Structure 1
Amino acid sequence: MYWVWMIIVSLIAGVIFGPLARLVLPGKQNISLGWTILGGGIGAFIGGLIAYFLDVKDTDGPDWIQYLIQIVCAAVVVAVISARNSGKARV
């Protein structure tokens, strides 16, 4: 049940982490808002897994280290999506 909840929370976090990821990336990303949110959600999920396996998830208070890991992962995923879509027409 934990993994299902983590997927749901990661997709919701994608709404926040996707645009944050675009802010930390240099240059213009030629992707839509939907791809940004999806990439942020995928990155948040991957970052959550990394934080879980590094045992930084179960801290008292806000999990700032986990959030930082998730934003970095979201930036990587958004950059990959942007690079993949750079040669395609934007729909």
Structure 2
Amino acid sequence: MTVTGIISAIVVGLVIGALGRLVVPGRQHIPIWLTIVIGIVASFVGSYLAGLFGYHNAGGGFPWLLLVIQVVVAAIGVSLASGAYGRRRRGMLRR
């Protein structure tokens, strides 16, 4: 992956994190910085998974399939982080 690819993955990751948070139903009790980090990681993981399955945007258009994979990975990450972070925060408030 080139430097341009890494920078674009980070920028797209910011959007992916927001989309992943919108896809997950209910309220997520995680800070916005964690959503952004999840989106960046999901962008890299989604790109890697798409490459494993042989996806190469040969048509040169907008990579819709890649975006869907990244948003699904981000939604999974947001729901996992929401459960873990929410449990940790609630436990701290009870003490």
Give the equivalent residue in structure 1 for 2:63: 63
State which structure, 1 or 2, has the greater radius of gyration over its C-alpha atoms. 2
User: Does the aligned pair in 2 maintain the 1:21–1:75 contact within 8 Å?
Assistant: yes
My pick for the range that moved more, 39-48 or 56-65, is 56-65
TM-score, structure 2 as length reference: 0.81
Give the equivalent residue in structure 1 for 2:38: 39
Structure 1 consecutive aligned stretches of length 4 or more whose deviation exceeds 6 Å? none
Query: What residue identity is the alignment partner of 2:53?
Result: L
Gaps of 5+ in 1: none
Give the equivalent residue in structure 1 for 2:85: 85
Identity value in percent = 33
Distance in 1 (CA, whole Å) between partners of 2:62 and 2:86 is 36
Query: What residue identity is the alignment partner of 1:75?
Result: A
Matched, 1:8 2:4: no
CA displacement 1:27-49 (0-9 Å, x = unmatched): 11101110001001111111100
CA displacement 1:23-81 (0-9 Å, x = unmatched): 11011110111000100111111110011111223321111101100110111111111
Distance in 2 (CA, whole Å) between partners of 1:47 and 1:76 is 11
Gaps of 5+ in 2: 91-95
TM-score, structure 1 as length reference: 0.84
Write 1 or 2 for the structure with the bigger share of helix.
Answer: 2
User: Does the aligned pair in 2 maintain the 1:11–1:38 contact within 8 Å?
Assistant: no
RMSD: 1.9
Aligned length: 89
Distance in 2 (CA, whole Å) between partners of 1:79 and 1:10 is 21
